[in-house]
Amino acid sequence: MDFKLKIVLLSVLLVLQISNTSSVPLLDPIDECILTCDACFKGQTLLNCANDCIFTQAVMNDHWKLFCPFFDANTPAVKMI
């Protein structure tokens, strides 16, 4: 096989491999929780919600779920690419 052809094939394979990998790192559950709070709340309520995300390790209680539908797993506020 010609050397130039090998280089071209390797380049194409490299580009395909790079395109298959995710360039965006996965978000930590607490980060997702905080971004979900941001989608629903502003001001002091956002701060309280974000603090609950941190203190409960992103396990939100029904109080927050009642006021923010994005805490439901079926309608996430943060979509991973």
Is the per-residue pLDDT at 55 higher than 60?
A: yes
**What is the tally of structural domains in the chain?**
1
pTM for the whole structure: 0.62
User: Does some domain include residue 54?
Assistant: yes
Query: Distance from CA of residue 7 to its chain's centroid?
Result: 36
Helix axes 29-40, 43-55, angle to 10 degrees: 160
User: Does some domain include residue 14?
Assistant: no
Q: Which two tokens stand for residue 73?
A: 């797993």
Is the per-residue pLDDT at 62 higher than 50?
A: yes
Structural domain for 63, as ranges: 25-81
User: Does some domain include residue 19?
Assistant: no
Separation CA 50–CA 12 (nearest Å): 44
User: Does some domain include residue 61?
Assistant: yes
Consecutive H or E run containing 14 = helix 3-20
Query: Where does the pLDDT of residue 46 fall: very low under 50, low under 70, confident under 90, or very high at 90 and above?
Result: very high
